[in-house]
Structure 1
Amino acid sequence: MNLSALTNQDLILIKSPFKTRDEAINALIDKLYQQGKISDKTEFLNAVMQRESEGPTALGEGLAIPHGKSLSVKEAAFAVATIEGSIDWEGIDGDESVNLVFLLAIPSAEAGTTHIQLLTQLTTALVDDDTREAIVQAVSPANLFELLSQNIAKQSEESTQTESLVQNDSSELTVVCVTACPAGIAHTYMAAEYLEKAGKKLGIRVVVEKQGANGIEGRISNQDLQNATACIFAAEVAIKEVERFAGIPTIKVPVAEPIKRAESIIQEVIEKAKHNPRQANVTETSTPVEQKVSVKTELKQALLSGISFAVPLIVAGGTVLAVAVLITQIFGLQEVYETENSWLWLYRKLGGNLLGVLMVPVLSAYTAYSLADKPALGPGFAAGVAANLIGSGFLGGVVGGLIAGYVMRYVKKHIRLSPTFNGFLSFYLYPVIGTLIAGSLMLFVVGKPVALINTGLTTWLNSLSGSNALLLGLIIGCFVSFDLGGPVNKAAYAFCLGAMANGVYGPYAIFASVKMVSAFTVTASTMIAPRLFKDFEIETGKSTWLLGLAGITEGAIPMAIEDPIRVIGSFLLGSAVTGALVGWASIGLSTPGAGIFSMFLLTDNPLGAFASAGIWFGAALLGALISTITLIAWRKQAVSSGKFAV
C-alpha cells in the first residue's frame, strides 16, 4: 500500500496549539471534510469517538492514531497534526502525553483490509525514534510529507532485507514472541516491531507472531518452536493455541511494555532461560504455559467470552423471528404462520431454535473454551445441552461452562500419554472423559440445584408487580445508561438475556425501551438550547435520534465524554423513570435486537397490544423529556457560573 497516496500537504497541520484530544480530532476531521474525503462530519466524528470508547489509541512515545470506519468516508485517507507542546490522551497505562496525531478515515467496506494495512504500515514506519522525532519537528506540511514518504520507502526496503536475514540467520539464540492487544491492530504491530528491532540490536534472532484483527499473522514455524531458547507473550488477551509454546521458558508482559523496554524484556527472558532451560520432548499436548490471572479476572473473561459467542445467535435468531412476526401481522398471515412446514412456520422455527435450542449450549461451550481451549468445546456443549434438559437455562449454561472448563483444565494437566498416542488423547479420550464428567455433574449433581435456583428466580421475576416491578425497572434503567455500552450496560444485557432465555420477558422490554433515552436526549437538548452546547455536540445531536430508534446507546458517548457528570447524571434520571414505568406496566419482549420495531412485538400485553406499545415507546419519550430538562438546567447553570465553556 502506498501510504503517501492517502494523504497530502493540505491534510497536515504543523505545531497546532491544541489543548485537548477532542480539539485535535475535530480539527483533523475538518481537514478531511474540506478535502472531500468524508461526506458527513458528524457521522464520522461519532465513528471516531465510538472507537475511542472501545480502547486507547495513544500508543506511547507521544504518538496517537485515532481512527473511524464509517459510510461517510468516501475514500481511505489520513490527516496528520503535530502538537505545540503536548496534550493528554488515554493510553493503556493511563493518560499519555501526545505530540503527534494521525487520524485515519476508513470506508466501512474496507474495515478489514485497508484499515488494518494502513495501521500496520503506519505503526511500523513510526517505530523508529529518529524518524518520529524528525516528523514532530517538521517546519512545514511539505517538510513533514517528504519525511513521511522517505521513511515509508526506507521501511519497505529494510523489511525486505530483514525477511532475508531471518531466513538465513543461524544465531544460537532464538526468541519467539506473540503480540496481541484487545483491538488486535495498532499495539499488536508496534510491540512486534519494537521486539524485532531490539533483537537485531542485541544480536538475538527474534521471531514474532501477531495475533490481531486478521487472525494469526506471521505464524511461528514448528522449526522455530523447536529451536526457541525462550518465549515472550506481549498481550492483553488470551493467546491462541498457547499449547504450541509448552515447555519453553516464557514471560508475559502487557502489550505496551515492548514499546518502552523491548531490550530489557528480551534480556530478562534470556536470563530466565539460562536458569530454567526448556523442557525436552515438548509436544502439542504438553501442559500449556500458565497465564497467571486472578480467579475474578478469569471468571469475568470466561463469562464475557461465552456471551460474545452467543450474541450473534441471539441477534440472528431474534431478527429472523421478528421478520416472521412482522410479515404475519402486516399481511394477515396468521394461518400460514401457524401451519406446520409452511414457509413462515419454518422461519419462526429457525429463529426460535437459535434462541431456544442453541443459545445455552453455545454460551456454555465458549465459556469452557476460554478456560481450557479447544479440548473444552465438546464437554462445554454437553454441559449446555444438559442445562437445557434439566431446565436450568441461561444460569445453568454459565455454571456448566465453568464446570466443563475447569474439569478439562484438570484432565489436560493430569492425564497424559506418550507422543505416539497424541491423536487418541486429543480426539477421543479428552472429549469423552470431559463430556462424561461435566455432563454427569450437570445432570445429577450441580445441575439440579442450579435448576431450582433458576426456577426460583424465574418465579420471582414473574411474580413481580407494582412497586417491586417498578424498582427492578429503575435499576435496569440506571445500568443501561450508566456507561452507554460499557461493562455495566453489558451486565444489564446479560441479566435481561438470561431472564428472556427462561421465558421471563419483562426485563428485556425494559432494556429495549431505556436504550432510546440517552440518544433522544442528546438530539432534543441540542435542538432546544443550542447556545448551551458546543458545535460538535450540536452536530452529534442531528443524527443521534436515529441511533436511538435502532437501540444504539453509543451515539451519546461524545457528549458524555465532554461533560460526564451532568450528561450521565441527566441520562440516569430519565432512564430510571423509563425503566420503572415499563416494569410497572408488566410489558414483555421476547425478540431481542429489533429497535423501534420492538413496539410491534411486545408480549404479555395486559393492557392490550396498542396500549402496551404506547406505554413502551411513551416511557422512552418521557424519560428523554426528563433527561433533556435536567441536562439543559444543569448545563445552563454551569455555563452561567463559568464551570463549563461553550
Structure 2
Amino acid sequence: MNLTQLTTQELIYIQSPFSNSDEAINALIEGLYQKGKISDKSAFLNAVMQRESEGPTALGEGLAIPHGKSVAVNEAAFAVATLAQPIAWNGIDGEEDVNLIFLLAIPEAQAGTTHIQLLTQLTTALVDDEVREKIIHAKTSEELLGLLSQAIEEQLEPTESSSEVALLEKAPVIVCVTACPAGIAHTYMAAEYLEKAGKKLGVKIVVEKQGANGIEGRISVEDFDNATACIFASEVAIKELERFSGLPTIKVPVAEPIKRAESIINEALELAKKTPRDMTKSHKTATVENKVGFKTELKQALLSGISFAVPLIVAGGTVLAIAVLITQIFGLQAVYETENSWLWLYRKLGGNLLGVLMVPVLAAYTAYSLADKPALGPGFAAGVAANLIGSGFLGGIVGGLIAGYVMRYVKQYIRLSPTFNGFLSFYLYPVIGTLIAGSLMLFVIGKPVAFVNTGLTNWLNSLSGSNALLLGVIIGCFVSFDLGGPVNKAAYAFCLGAMANEVYGPYAIFASVKMVSAFTVTASTLMAPKLFKDFEIETGKSTWLLGLAGITEGAIPMAIEDPIRVIGSFLVGSAVTGAIVGWASIGLSTPGAGIFSMFLLTENPLGAFASAGIWFGAALLGSLISTLVLISWRKHAVATGKFAI
C-alpha cells in the first residue's frame, strides 16, 4: 500500500511542541496548503471547525482525528503530528489528553474513490493499540510512514484461525450499522471496535458501514435471518431502515462503541433475551435508545421538515428572483404578465414551488421525522389540506405533526401477517393515514389553526412604528444567536410562515441581519488584527463573501473560540439592523436571494431605491456597531489576561 499518494514525509511532524488544538490544526492545515493538497486555508479551516462543533474528534487512547470535507481540498490527503507533550482536545467524555493527531482532508466530490478507501483503511488501522503506540513513539517521519503502511497491509490480510471461524459460526449474531456525518473516521472506527469486542465476547458481529463510500459491507440475507439483535451507532439517518424491522435494537451515538463496545454488545444481548425476535411479526421492533423529551422530539421534527423544504424554498425563490430581475432590467413587464410566455412560466415555476409545494413538503417531512416512510403520504395530504383551508405555513407544521403521530399509532396497532406486508405498506397504511390526518386537518384541527394563522397575519400587517421596531430587534437577535442553529431556524420558520401568508416584512429583516455576523468577522480582523488569532484572521478573509450570500455559518469558528464576546457583539449589531428594517416597513417576498434581495424588495412609501439603501445600509451599520463592540471587548479581555492570542 503506497501511502505517498495521500501524504508525504513533509506532512509528518514528529514530537511537535503544539500547546493547544487550534495551534495543531492550523499548523497541519498550513502544511497541507504548502504541499498543494488544499487551495484555500480559510475555507478548509471552516470545514474542520464546523466538524469540531458537531461532535468529538478525540477518540480516546491519546488519538484525535479532526477532519473536514470541502471543495477547497484538491485531493484527499492527511497530515500527522506526534506531540512532545499531550494537549487537551474535545472528546467523548469532555476534554481528553491527545498526543497523536491525524488531520484528514476530504474532497466533497470524491466519496467512493480509491483515496477515500485508503483513508478509511488508515483510520481503521489506528484502532489497534500496538500500532498506535509504535506510531506515537516513532523517531522519524520515515519510520512513522512505514509503520502505517505495514499496519494497513496487515489489515488487508485477515488472520482468523480455523478455530475462531468455527466458534463464530456457532455464536449469536448481532447486525450493526455505523454512520457519521462525514462518513470517514467515526464510521469505520466504531465498526472496528464493535468487531474486536465481538471476537472477545464470542459474538458474531456483522457491521455495515454507511459512510463516504456509500453502503459498505452490506448485511447479507443469511446474517439477517440469523440475527438476534441490532445495534445502530449513528449520528445520521440509517439508509434502508425497513430491512431491520422486527429486530430488537440498541441505538447509540457513533462515538459510543469507541468508548464501550463490549457493554453495548452485552446490552443488545440482554435486550434480545427480554424481547426475542418474532419472525411472524416483521413490524414488531423492540428499541432501546437515548430517550428524548416531547419538546425535543417536536423541535427535531420541525427542524427536519424545514431542512427538507429549504432546497425547494431556495430554488423557488431564486427562480422567481431571476424572472423579476430580467423583467426589471430589460423592461419586459408585458412579457412577464402574458400567460404562457417564457417569463410568465418561470414566474409560475418559482411561485408554485413556494406557494403550492412548500407547505405540503414541510408537513410531509415533519411527519417523516416522527414515523419514517409510511408517514410521507399522510404528511403530504395534511399539507395539501392546510393549503385548502388557508392555514398556511402554521397549518403545515401542525398537519405534519398530526400525520406523524397518527402514523406512529397506526404502525404500532395495525399489523398483519408477513404475507400481507405489501398490502399493508403500499395500500392500508397510506390510505388510513391520509383519511385520518386529512380529515382532522379539514374538519377538526385545521379550522382553528387557520383562524390563528389569519389572526397572526392580521397582527403582523398591523405592526408599525415602535411595534415593528421591536419585532425587528427580536428577529435580529434570533438570527445571530446560534448562527444557523435551532434558534436561527426558529426565526427562519417564523419569517417563512409570514411570507407564506403574504406578510413580507419579517423576511426582509431576516435577510438583512444574516449579513451582520459575517461582515463583523471580516471587519474586526482587518481593523485590529493584533487582537485575533491567525485562524480568525484567515476566516475573516472569506466571511464577507459568505455574508453577501446570506450565510451566517462562516462566523462559527470565531464564535467557538470566544463565544461570549463574539456572539454578544453579533447580537448588539443584529438588534440594530433588525430594528431599522422593521421600522422602515421594508418587505421581501423572495427567499434565498442573498445580496440580490436588495433589488427585489416589495414596494413601500419610501420607493425602491431608498428601500434598497436602507435595507443594505442597516446591515452595514449593524456590522460596524458589532465590530466596534467586539474590538472593545476583545481588547479589554487581552489586556486583563482573560483571552490569550
TM-score (norm 1): 0.94
Aligned mates of 1:356, 1:162 — CA distance in 2 = 64
Q: Give the partner amino acid of 2:382.
A: A
Within 5 Å, give how 1:215-614 maps onto structure 2.
215-283=214-282, 285-287=283-285, 289=287, 291=289, 292-614=291-613
Q: Give the partner amino acid of 1:32.
A: L
Deviations, residues 485-540 of structure 1 (Å, cap 9, x unaligned): 22222221222122212211111111111111112112222222223223332232
Specify the alignment match of 1:81 in structure 2: 81
Specify the alignment match of 1:150 in structure 2: 150
> Higher mean Cα deviation, 406-415 or 636-645?
636-645
Deviations, residues 558-591 of structure 1 (Å, cap 9, x unaligned): 2222222222211111111001100111111111
2:305/2:364 contact within 8 Å kept: yes
- State the Cα distance separating 1:415 from its structure 2 match: 1.5
Query: Residues 455 and 94 from structure 1, CA distance in 2 versus in 1: closer, same or farther, beyond 3 angstroms?
Result: farther
1:588/1:602 contact within 8 Å kept: yes
2:207/2:219 contact within 8 Å kept: yes
Q: SS at 2:156's partner residue?
A: helix
Structure 1: gaps (5+ residues): none
Aligned mates of 2:625, 2:24 — CA distance in 1 = 33
2:389/2:446 contact within 8 Å kept: yes
1:566/1:634 contact within 8 Å kept: yes
Aligned mates of 2:49, 2:626 — CA distance in 1 = 22
Aligned mates of 2:41, 2:273 — CA distance in 1 = 56
Aligned mates of 2:507, 2:90 — CA distance in 1 = 33
Q: Give the partner amino acid of 2:325.
A: L
Q: Give the partner amino acid of 2:233.
A: A
Q: Give the partner amino acid of 2:147.
A: L
Aligned mates of 1:274, 1:537 — CA distance in 2 = 54
- State the Cα distance separating 1:239 from its structure 2 match: 4.1
Q: Give the partner amino acid of 1:110.
A: Q
Aligned mates of 1:92, 1:524 — CA distance in 2 = 35
Within 5 Å, give how 1:198-213 maps onto structure 2.
198-212=197-211
2:111/2:213 contact within 8 Å kept: no
> Higher mean Cα deviation, 540-549 or 84-93?
84-93
- State the Cα distance separating 1:116 from its structure 2 match: 5.0
Q: Give the partner amino acid of 1:311.
A: V
Within 5 Å, give how 1:69-218 maps onto structure 2.
69-110=69-110, 113=113, 116-158=116-158, 170-212=169-211, 215-218=214-217
Query: Residues 114 and 494 from structure 1, CA distance in 2 versus in 1: closer, same or farther, beyond 3 angstroms?
Result: farther
Query: Residues 558 and 416 from structure 1, CA distance in 2 versus in 1: closer, same or farther, beyond 3 angstroms?
Result: closer
- State the Cα distance separating 1:396 from its structure 2 match: 0.7
2:88/2:95 contact within 8 Å kept: yes
Q: SS at 2:591's partner residue?
A: coil
Query: Residues 115 and 95 from structure 1, CA distance in 2 versus in 1: closer, same or farther, beyond 3 angstroms?
Result: farther
Q: SS at 2:321's partner residue?
A: helix
Query: Residues 33 and 180 from structure 1, CA distance in 2 versus in 1: closer, same or farther, beyond 3 angstroms?
Result: closer
Q: SS at 2:209's partner residue?
A: strand
Aligned mates of 1:618, 1:288 — CA distance in 2 = 57
Query: Percent identity among equivalent residues?
Result: 82
Query: Residues 294 and 563 from structure 1, CA distance in 2 versus in 1: closer, same or farther, beyond 3 angstroms?
Result: closer
> Higher mean Cα deviation, 118-127 or 144-153?
118-127
Q: Give the partner amino acid of 2:255.
A: A
Query: Residues 239 and 545 from structure 1, CA distance in 2 versus in 1: closer, same or farther, beyond 3 angstroms?
Result: closer
Specify the alignment match of 2:64 in structure 1: 64
1:4/1:148 contact within 8 Å kept: no
Aligned mates of 1:368, 1:410 — CA distance in 2 = 12
Q: Give the partner amino acid of 1:496.
A: C
Aligned mates of 2:320, 2:189 — CA distance in 1 = 44
Query: Residues 219 and 425 from structure 1, CA distance in 2 versus in 1: closer, same or farther, beyond 3 angstroms?
Result: same
2:393/2:500 contact within 8 Å kept: yes
Aligned mates of 1:390, 1:351 — CA distance in 2 = 22
Q: Give the partner amino acid of 2:464.
A: S
Structure 2: gaps (5+ residues): none
- State the Cα distance separating 1:443 from its structure 2 match: 0.1
Query: Residues 412 and 589 from structure 1, CA distance in 2 versus in 1: closer, same or farther, beyond 3 angstroms?
Result: same
Task: Count residues in correspondence.
Answer: 644
Query: Residues 229 and 645 from structure 1, CA distance in 2 versus in 1: closer, same or farther, beyond 3 angstroms?
Result: closer
Q: SS at 2:170's partner residue?
A: coil
TM-score (norm 2): 0.94
> Higher mean Cα deviation, 466-475 or 207-216?
207-216
Aligned mates of 1:122, 1:417 — CA distance in 2 = 47
2:516/2:573 contact within 8 Å kept: yes
2:7/2:77 contact within 8 Å kept: yes
Q: SS at 1:158's partner residue?
A: coil
Q: Give the partner amino acid of 2:319.
A: V
Q: Give the partner amino acid of 1:560.
A: A
Specify the alignment match of 1:43 in structure 2: 43
Query: Residues 416 and 274 from structure 1, CA distance in 2 versus in 1: closer, same or farther, beyond 3 angstroms?
Result: closer
Specify the alignment match of 1:633 in structure 2: 632
Aligned mates of 1:38, 1:482 — CA distance in 2 = 31
Aligned mates of 2:397, 2:630 — CA distance in 1 = 39
1:246/1:288 contact within 8 Å kept: no
Deviations, residues 426-454 of structure 1 (Å, cap 9, x unaligned): 11111111111100000000000111111
- State the Cα distance separating 1:138 from its structure 2 match: 1.6
Query: Residues 417 and 542 from structure 1, CA distance in 2 versus in 1: closer, same or farther, beyond 3 angstroms?
Result: closer
Q: SS at 1:607's partner residue?
A: coil
Aligned mates of 1:457, 1:166 — CA distance in 2 = 67
Specify the alignment match of 1:11 in structure 2: 11
Across the aligned residues of Structure 1 and Structure 2, the Cα RMSD in angstroms comes to 2.5
- State the Cα distance separating 1:123 from its structure 2 match: 2.1
